[in-house]
């Protein structure tokens, strides 16, 4: 071979004896075939075979298998974000004329997706009270193909009765999907509690370091898997092996991070509950949170995200209080090593369950800092709020 050819052909080297604990990052668009016939037959490799980088590499498949193992799922599909993990389920399972039910506390971009993308294309949606439980039966008509659950719900943290909702939905022939980002497969396994589909933002606890975006969709039924996987292929949705590799690193420490963050979040929530400036603490592990009994029944423990509702009087000094924070950072997303705090406007996102509180809601994500530094920072903020 001449020099230019030598430049593009990597020499074969022995891998004998090389046993690393790390999962290699396999980058690929092209996948080559041993002969002409195997290339022509590539469609027969099926959704688990390797045919093209977009459809999976050993790196992404390893992460998929790991998420599946945590959930007791048959298969998991990776998508570029947690939002895509929800929207791709809807696009895979709903066609014009169908209807989907979403809870009133749903991650706001999901409501927007239903109103601004699905509805103009003939897919209807209706919003339900997240505490509805078996009462969901009354909302399921012949067109309802999917009941979406998010538990605990974004911002307001209601814990939904998934088994009751799933039983009612299945009795009427609807599928049930759930956004399980808060709990991860470590604290709640929705497929064991009636869900057909589990979506998660791996961006949060699996990634764990605020530096990647990734989502997962896990299922037991291979027919559901095929519908969603086909849509991913047709739309050209795949994920980078580099993101998957970061997530594979993150997931190794997820259990210890989550155990610590859960412990500290419960401790902080209890301490905050004693403040005269706080009207209500919304932490699934505390009795003040709607659905607390369901949390005790179904979940293995708490993660690190919760919310507090401030008294209306504290609202006018909220910006000054937040600006005084030195340990907490201000920002959206969560689940990383840095503790975060974000104000949320809840009233505007509600349509069937009016939000009873006048004061602002603060969402708190506990990170890995020393808990006493976090508490001192929160006390400092509360002192500014008190004026
Ligand atoms: C963050 C989040 C998402 C979206 O995840 P991205 O990766 O940021 O798109 C979806 N659902 C819930 C509950 C979330 O908290």
- pLDDT per residue of the chain (387 residues) written in tens, 0 to 9: 999 999 999 999 999 999 999 999 999 999 999 999 999 999 999 889 999 999 999 999 999 999 999 999 999 999 999 999 999 999 999 999 999 999 999 999 999 999 999 999 999 999 999 999 999 999 999 999 999 999 999 999 999 999 999 999 999 999 999 999 999 999 999 999 999 999 999 999 999 999 999 999 999 999 999 999 999 999 999 999 999 999 999 999 999 999 999 999 999 999 999 999 999 999 999 999 999 999 999 999 999 999 999 999 888 899 999 999 999 999 999 999 999 999 998 877 899 999 999 999 999 999 999 999 999 999 999 999 998
Pocket test for ligand 1, best of 80, 102, 154, 284 (most atoms within 8 A of CB): 154
Query: 102 forms bridges with which residues in the sheet?
Result: 127
Smallest CA separation from ligand 1 atom 3, residue:
82
Q: What is the pLDDT of residue 315?
A: 86
- CA nearest to 70, candidates 310, 254, 305, 277: 254
- CA nearest to 199, candidates 169, 223, 224, 174: 224
Q: How far is the CA of 206 from the centre of ligand 1 (A)?
A: 12
Contacts 24+ apart (CB under 8 A), 28-36: 28/53, 28/57, 28/241, 29/53, 29/54
Cβ–Cβ < 8 Å for 332, 342: yes
Q: What is the pLDDT of residue 330?
A: 97
Give CA separation, 94 vs 84, 120, 142, in Å. Answer: 15, 13, 13
Q: Is 179 in the pocket of ligand 1 (CB under 6 A)?
A: yes
Class of domain 36-252: alpha beta
CATH number of 254-386, picked from 1.20.1090.10, 3.20.20.20, 3.90.1150.10, 3.40.50.1820: 3.90.1150.10
Model-wide pTM > 0.85: yes
CA-CA distance, 53 to 58, in Å (whole number)? 10
- CA nearest to 146, candidates 156, 161, 136, 132: 136
Q: Is 107 in the pocket of ligand 1 (CB under 6 A)?
A: yes
The CA-based diameter of the chain, rounded to the nearest angstrom, is 79
CA-CA distance, 313 to 163, in Å (whole number)? 40
Q: What is the pLDDT of residue 349?
A: 80
Q: Is 205 in the pocket of ligand 1 (CB under 6 A)?
A: no
DSSP run (H or E) holding 319: helix 318-323
Q: Name the token pair of 336.
A: 């990383």
The structural domains of the chain, with segments of one domain joined by +, span: 36-252, 254-386
CA-CA distance, 292 to 297, in Å (whole number)? 9
Residues contacting residue 125 through CB under 8 Å, at least 6 positions apart: 99, 100, 101, 102, 114, 115, 118, 119
Cβ atoms within 10 Å, residue 74: 14
Q: Is 215 in the pocket of ligand 1 (CB under 6 A)?
A: yes
Q: What is the pLDDT of residue 31?
A: 95
Three-state DSSP at 329 gives strand
């Amino acid at each position: 071979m001449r020099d230019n050819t030598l430049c593009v052909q990597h020499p074969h080297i022995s891998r004998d004896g090389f046993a690393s604990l790390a999962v290699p990052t396999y980058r690929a668009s092209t996948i080559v075939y041993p002969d002409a016939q195997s290339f022509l037959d590539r469609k027969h490799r099926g959704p688990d075979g390797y045919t093209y980088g977009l459809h999976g590499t050993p790196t992404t498949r390893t992460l998929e298998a790991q998420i599946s193992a945590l959930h007791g799922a048959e298969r998991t599909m990776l998508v570029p974000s947690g939002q895509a993990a929800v929207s791709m389920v809807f696009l895979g399972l709903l066609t014009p004329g169908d209807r989907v039910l979403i809870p009133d506390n749903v991650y706001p971009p999901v409501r927007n997706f239903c109103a601004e993308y699905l509805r103009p294309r003939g897919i209807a949606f209706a919003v339900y009270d997240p505490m509805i439980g078996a009462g969901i039966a009354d909302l399921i008509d012949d067109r309802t193909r999917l009941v979406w659950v998010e538990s605990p719900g974004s911002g307001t943290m209601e814990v939904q009765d998934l088994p009751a909702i799933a039983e009612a939905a299945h009795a009427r022939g609807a599928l049930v999907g759930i956004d399980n980002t808060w709990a991860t497969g470590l604290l709640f396994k929705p497929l064991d509690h009636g869900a057909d589909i589990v979506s998660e933002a791996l961006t949060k606890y699996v990634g764990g370091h605020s530096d990647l975006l990734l989502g997962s969709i896990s299922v037991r039924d291979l027919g559901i898997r095929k519908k969603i996987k086909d849509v991913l292929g047709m739309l050209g949705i795949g994920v980078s092996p580099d993101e998957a590799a970061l997530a594979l690193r993150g997931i190794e420490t997820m259990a210890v991070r989550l155990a610590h963050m859960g412990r500290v979040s419960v401790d902080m929530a209890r301490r905050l509950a004693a403040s005269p400036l706080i009207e209500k603490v919304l932490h699934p592990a505390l009795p003040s949170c709607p659905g607390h009994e369901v949390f005790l029944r179904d979940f293995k423990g708490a993660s690190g995200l919760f919310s507090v509702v401030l008294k209306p009087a504290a609202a006018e000094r909220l910006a000054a209080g937040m600006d005084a924070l030195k340990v907490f950072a201000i920002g959206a997303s969560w689940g990383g090593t840095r503790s975060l705090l974000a104000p949320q406007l809840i009233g505007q996102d509600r349509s069937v369950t009016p939000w009873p509180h006048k004061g602002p809601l603060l969402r708190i994500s506990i990170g890995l800092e020393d808990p006493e530094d976090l508490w001192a920072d929160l006390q400092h903020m509360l002192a500014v709020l008190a004026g």
